[in-house]
């Protein structure tokens, strides 16, 4: 178990460092690269939680599809111009506000919720694909369908916007 | 969408239902692709037509080929050239030099023989006019075509080099490929044919 | 003392780790060196299709030609364009290569065998995940970043166009490719590659390709999508020499260039192995009771048939136009695979 804690610390530190890089670096392609690293680390954390299905799906969906599209758009940006632009000052207080709320939330979760209760999954309790599927299609069928409808709406919306612009 | 673009997309001219169905069926079983693959697979097992030169094979041209000049002798071994300099006159590029001399020792067929007979292969265009002009058929264009070398020294051939017997005998019928062996020398490489071992002509 | 034994891994675990490490080294060694043979084979196939002998001069029948080429590439000057993004330019080939190699972690080359002297049973795969198919799809998808970032970092228009094409093609065909994998999962009821092969045990009529009527269609979808994923002719839009010079690798030279080639060839090997495992019964012999040939050789033989097939296709078909590529992906393969999922599902329920 010692090895798992060491691995957890390595993955977590890399994830945090690279996500800091995502927000601080100027070059959008580098940011996308660090976002990939972050997501891969999160997938590794899922693996440590004995949930290989979630880890693999995380890599498959986010790294394999979403970020490819992301990078696809970023590649077309004039990088020199994009890295010159900085955030407008008037949005800064808002950003700091959101950051503060998130920080407080995390601290509440850690200290009020009790840090000692949070621990890696019990050894041997591997989450099976069948379990996830059964849960999704029985207990969680309603939220699942709602999410699907939301995605469908987004898709239709995108198509409608594309058609309008061409006409 | 413009009509002609649509037609290009569909890529078939007929529009009646049975032929469209047939088209769809042919595509579903990858008919065109299988046809193409069968052609390439057939070629894949067919014999190779490459001449393996200079490693293992060599092309021997026919007798009428115009390669490097040879100076010839008659049956008794006398030089046929009488240094009449007609070849020099006939040569369009002026690359032959002939200097005559008197010699009655029986070296040549007449008392007049060539003291110097050189041909500058850098200028020669292998037109064969020298061959036509020669009254005694002394100069002839041979079958050697390996002329590449590393410096200019081999570009001018003198009489002694030209008088040497050609490595392919006169009566050998050319137009074939034969086995050969590559020899590396200081001046470059030479491919020595073995004219007894003929290879198949693929055509 | 008890605490110490809790922390320290047991002897069996250590042995297991050593075993995995040895297997990794063996597979990495084979996969890294396989391109030497495959490049030679590809050139030979190309030659003989065009009635010429291909490489002949180095080694018997040119066998050492690719070794010579490799040595040449190693010693070649490694040029980095002056306005390139240096770090990304350098790591891009590595990003392309690592996922292509990682896929081999899950690929089973056979069942377990007994090793004589140490009397230990050894499995012929590194890991048998219960999500192996998804793992392969996910990890295989990462290698497109190598092509994308490499093209972008070269700071050249051809390279950028190549990488954009690679990304668009990847996105379009990943869907059909995953659907085909789902089809295999539906036919065999498992996500683990070992179980998929075991589901096809016995006579060759048990193979997925003969799971009529859906098997052959799934295979066609899988194969076409795999060709596109591999960036091979007829779908090699991202390195199209006719219009893009060499696409994303136009600025690469020396060892970095050969890393890209290595990535492509190992991807080809892994896809060929997957074709065999998914549809052609893995290491099973077509007729049970041919004991002379060991199962591993069956797998290797079938794989080489597919590799050869990929090569023949490369020298047979012309390249598709870019819009045709997208049409095939979005308008043919994806709807077809959705219909096939329905049919396969019905078959599983009703039969
Ligand atoms: S072949 Fe023509 S160019 Fe050459 S030496 Fe004879 S006449 Fe001159
Ligand atoms: S080679 Fe013939 S043409 Fe030339 S000088 Fe001699 S005899 Fe005369």
Q: DSSP assignment, residue C211?
A: S
Confidence of residue B1 (pLDDT cuts 50, 70, 90): very low
Q: DSSP assignment, residue B164?
A: S
Q: Which of C340, C184, C142 is nearest to C276 (CA)?
A: C184
The closest CB to that of C49, out of B30, B40, B55, belongs to B40
Residue C180 forms part of a structural domain: yes
Q: d(Cα C168, Cα C149) in Å, to the nearest integer?
A: 14
CB contact burial A60-96 (16+ within 10 A = b; e otherwise):
bebbbbebbebbbebbeeebeeebeeeeeeeeeeeee
For tokens 């979630």, name the residue. Answer: A54
**Hey, which residues does B193 pair with through a beta bridge?**
B180
Q: d(Cα A11, Cα A4) in Å, to the nearest integer?
A: 10
Residue C59 forms part of a structural domain: no
| Mean pLDDT taken over chain C | 83
Write phi, then psi, for B191 (nearest 5 degrees): -105, 115
Mean pLDDT across A52-60: 84
Q: Is pLDDT of A150 > 90?
A: yes
Poorest-pLDDT segment among A65-74, B136-145, C195-204, C287-296: C287-296
Largest CA distance in chain A: 62
Q: Tell me, what's the pLDDT at B93?
A: 92
Largest CA distance in chain C: 74
C32 to A26, C148, C265: CA distances (angstroms): 37, 23, 9
Q: d(Cα B115, Cα B88) in Å, to the nearest integer?
A: 14
Q: d(Cα B143, Cα B38) in Å, to the nearest integer?
A: 42
Mean pLDDT across B170-199: 78
Residue C328 forms part of a structural domain: yes
Q: Tell me, what's the pLDDT at B3?
A: 45
Residue C251 forms part of a structural domain: yes
Ligand 2: residue whose CA is nearest its atom 8: B84
Q: d(Cα A12, Cα A49) in Å, to the nearest integer?
A: 13
Mean pLDDT across B177-186: 81
Mean pLDDT across B185-197: 76
Residue C317 forms part of a structural domain: yes
Q: d(Cα C298, Cα C282) in Å, to the nearest integer?
A: 8
Q: Which residue has the higher pLDDT, C302 or A122?
A: C302
**Hey, which residues does B79 pair with through a beta bridge?**
B73, B108
Q: C251 to chain A, minimum CA–CA distance in Å?
A: 17
Residues near ligand 1 (Cβ within 6 A): B 90-93, 95-96, 119, 124-130
Q: Tell me, what's the pLDDT at A84?
A: 60
Number of domains in chain C: 1
Residue C70 forms part of a structural domain: no
Q: Tell me, what's the pLDDT at C348?
A: 84
Percent residues over pLDDT 70 in chain B: 90
CA of B185 to the centre of ligand 1 (A): 28
Which three-class secondary structure state does DSSP give residue C176?
A: helix
Mean pLDDT across C239-261: 80
Which tens digit of pLDDT belongs to each residue from A86-125?
Answer: 555 566 788 888 989 999 988 887 777 665 555 545 555 5
* Residue C148 sits at the chain A interface (C-beta within 8 Å): yes
Q: Tell me, what's the pLDDT at C281?
A: 81
Q: Which of C116, C139, C119 is nearest to C127 (CA)?
A: C139
Mean pLDDT across B21-30: 81
* Residue C332 sits at the chain B interface (C-beta within 8 Å): no
For tokens 């392309």, name the residue. Answer: C96
Q: Tell me, what's the pLDDT at B8?
A: 47
Which three-class secondary structure state does DSSP give residue B90?
A: helix
Q: Tell me, what's the pLDDT at A154?
A: 92
Confidence of residue B2 (pLDDT cuts 50, 70, 90): very low
CA of B78 to the centre of ligand 1 (A): 23
CA of B121 to the centre of ligand 1 (A): 9
Query: Do residues B121 and B155 lie in contact, with contact meaning Cβ atoms separated by under 8 Å?
Result: yes
Domain regions of chain A by residue span: 1-79
Q: Tell me, what's the pLDDT at C291?
A: 66
The closest CB to that of B36, out of C53, C317, C327, belongs to C317
Q: Tell me, what's the pLDDT at C7?
A: 56
CA of B112 to the centre of ligand 2 (A): 11
Q: Which domains does chain B have, with CATH numbers?
A: 2-45 (no CATH), 50-62+173-203 (no CATH), 66-166 (3.30.70.3270)
Q: What DSSP line would sit under B35-84, residue for residue?
A: HHHHHHHHHHHSPP----TTTTEEEEPPTT---SEEE-B-TTS-B-----
Which tens digit of pLDDT belongs to each residue from C89-116?
Answer: 888 888 888 888 888 888 888 777 767 6
Mean pLDDT across B73-96: 88
Which tens digit of pLDDT belongs to each residue from A4-19?
Answer: 788 888 998 999 999 8
C254 conformational bin, left if phi > 0, alpha if psi -120 to 50, beta if neither: left
* Structural domain harbouring C336: 78-113+127-350
- Residue among B68, B122, B124 to mutate when testing ligand 1 (max atoms within 8 A of CB): B124
Q: d(Cα B25, Cα C191) in Å, to the nearest integer?
A: 33
- For the domain made up of A1-79, the CATH class stated in words is mainly alpha
| Mean pLDDT taken over chain B | 81
C-beta pairs of C119-125 under 8 Å, 24+ apart in sequence:
C120/C15, C120/C19, C122/C19, C124/C296, C125/C23, C125/C193, C125/C194
Structure tokens belonging to residue C272: 């060929």
| Mean pLDDT taken over chain A | 80
Q: d(Cα A96, Cα A116) in Å, to the nearest integer?
A: 30
Q: Which of C266, C231, C233 is nearest to C249 (CA)?
A: C231
Q: Is pLDDT of C6 > 80?
A: no
Confidence of residue A149 (pLDDT cuts 50, 70, 90): very high
Q: Is pLDDT of C257 > 50?
A: yes
Q: Which residue has the higher pLDDT, C347 or A90?
A: C347
The full length of chain B comes to 203
Nearest CA in chain C to B35: C316
Q: Tell me, what's the pLDDT at B155?
A: 84
Residue C182 forms part of a structural domain: yes
Residue C247 forms part of a structural domain: yes
The closest CB to that of C48, out of B37, B39, B48, belongs to B48
Q: Which of B137, B141, B121 is nearest to B79 (CA)?
A: B137
Structure tokens belonging to residue A131: 């379990």
Question: Are C138 and A59 within 8 A, CB to CB?
Answer: yes
Query: Do residues A31 and A21 lie in contact, with contact meaning Cβ atoms separated by under 8 Å?
Result: yes
- Residue among B71, B95, B141 to mutate when testing ligand 1 (max atoms within 8 A of CB): B95
Which tens digit of pLDDT belongs to each residue from C226-239?
Answer: 888 888 878 887 77
Which tens digit of pLDDT belongs to each residue from C189-202?
Answer: 888 888 888 888 87
Q: Is pLDDT of B59 > 60?
A: yes
Q: Tell me, what's the pLDDT at B201?
A: 64
Q: Tell me, what's the pLDDT at C4?
A: 55
Confidence of residue C1 (pLDDT cuts 50, 70, 90): very low
Q: Tell me, what's the pLDDT at A61?
A: 86
Q: Tell me, what's the pLDDT at C125?
A: 77
Residues near ligand 2 (Cβ within 6 A): B 81-87, 98, 133-134, 136, 138-139
Q: d(Cα A17, Cα A25) in Å, to the nearest integer?
A: 12
């Amino acid at each position: 178990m010692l090895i798992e804690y060491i691995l957890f610390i390595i993955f977590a530190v890399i994830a945090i460092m690279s996500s800091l890089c995502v927000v601080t670096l100027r070059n959008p392609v580098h940011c996308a690269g660090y976002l990939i690293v972050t997501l891969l680390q999160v997938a590794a954390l899922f693996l440590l939680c004995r949930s290989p299905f979630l880890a693999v799906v995380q890599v498959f969906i986010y790294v394999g599809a979403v970020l490819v599209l992301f990078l696809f758009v970023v590649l077309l940006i004039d990088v020199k111009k994009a890295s010159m632009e900085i955030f407008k000052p008037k949005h800064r207080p808002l950003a700091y506000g959101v950051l503060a709320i998130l920080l407080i939330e995390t601290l509440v979760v850690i200290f009020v919720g009790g840090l000692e209760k949070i621990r890696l999954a019990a050894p041997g309790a591997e989450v099976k694909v069948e379990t996830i599927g059964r849960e999704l299609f029985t207990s969680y069928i309603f939220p699942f369908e709602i999410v699907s409808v939301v995605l469908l709406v987004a898709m239709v919306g995108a198509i409608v916007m594309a058609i309008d612009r061409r006409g | 969408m413009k009509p002609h673009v649509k037609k290009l997309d569909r890529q078939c001219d007929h529009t009646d239902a049975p032929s469209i169905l047939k088209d769809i069926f042919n595509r579903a079983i990858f008919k065109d692709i299988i046809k193409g693959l069968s052609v390439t697979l057939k070629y894949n097992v067919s014999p190779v037509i490459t001449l393996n030169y200079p490693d293992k094979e060599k092309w021997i041209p026919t007798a009428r080929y115009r390669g490097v000049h040879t100076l010839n002798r008659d049956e008794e071994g006398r030089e046929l050239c009488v240094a009449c300099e007609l070849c020099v006159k006939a040569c369009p590029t002026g690359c032959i030099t002939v200097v005559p001399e008197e010699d009655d020792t029986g070296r040549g067929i007449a008392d007049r023989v060539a003291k110097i007979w050189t041909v500058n292969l850098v200028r020669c265009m292998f037109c064969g006019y020298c061959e036509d002009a020669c009254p005694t058929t002394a100069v002839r264009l041979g079958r050697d075509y390996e002329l590449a070398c590393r410096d200019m020294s081999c570009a001018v051939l003198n009489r002694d080099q030209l008088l040497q017997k050609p490595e392919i005998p006169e009566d050998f019928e050319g137009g074939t490929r034969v086995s050969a062996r590559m020899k590396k020398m200081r001046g470059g490489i030479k491919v020595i044919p073995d004219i007894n071992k003929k290879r198949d002509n693929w055509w | 003392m008890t605490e110490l034994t809790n922390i320290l891994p047991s002897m069996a675990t250590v042995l297991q780790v050593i075993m995995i490490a040895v297997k990794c080294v063996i597979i990495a060694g084979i996969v890294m060196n396989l391109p030497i043979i495959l490049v030679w084979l590809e050139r030979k196939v190309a030659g003989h299709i065009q009635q010429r002998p291909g490489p002949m001069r180095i080694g018997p029948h040119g066998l050492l030609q690719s070794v010579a080429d490799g040595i040449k590439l190693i010693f070649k000057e490694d040029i980095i364009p002056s306005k390139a993004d240096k770090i990304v330019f350098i790591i891009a080939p590595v990003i392309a290569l690592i996922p292509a190699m990682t896929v081999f972690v899950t690929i089973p080359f056979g069942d377990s065998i007994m090793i004589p002297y140490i009397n230990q049973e050894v499995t012929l795969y590194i890991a048998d995940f219960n999500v192996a198919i998804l793992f392969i799809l996910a990890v295989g998808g990462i290698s497109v970043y190598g092509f994308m970032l490499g093209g972008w970092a070269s700071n050249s228009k051809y390279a950028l166009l190549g990488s954009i094409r690679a990304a668009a093609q990847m996105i379009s065909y990943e869907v059909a490719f995953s659907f085909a994998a789902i089809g295999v999962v539906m036919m065999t009821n498992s996500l683990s590659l070992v179980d998929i092969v075991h589901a096809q045990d016995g006579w060759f009529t048990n193979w997925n390709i003969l799971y009529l009527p859906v098997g052959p269609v799934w295979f066609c979808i899988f194969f076409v999508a795999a060709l596109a994923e591999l960036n091979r002719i007829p779908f090699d839009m991202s390195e199209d020499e006719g219009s893009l010079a060499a696409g994303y690798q136009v600025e690469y030279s020396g060892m970095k260039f050969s890393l890209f080639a290595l990535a492509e060839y190992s991807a080809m090997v892994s896809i060929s192995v997957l074709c065999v495992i998914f549809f052609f019964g893995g290491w099973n012999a077509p007729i049970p009771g041919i004991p002379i040939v060991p199962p591993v050789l069956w797998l290797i033989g079938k794989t080489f048939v597919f590799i050869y097939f990929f090569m023949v296709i490369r020298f047979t078909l012309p390249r598709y136009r870019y819009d045709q590529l997208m049409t095939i992906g979005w308008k043919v393969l994806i709807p077809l695979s959705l219909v096939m999922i329905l049919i396969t599902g019905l078959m599983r329920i009703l039969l």
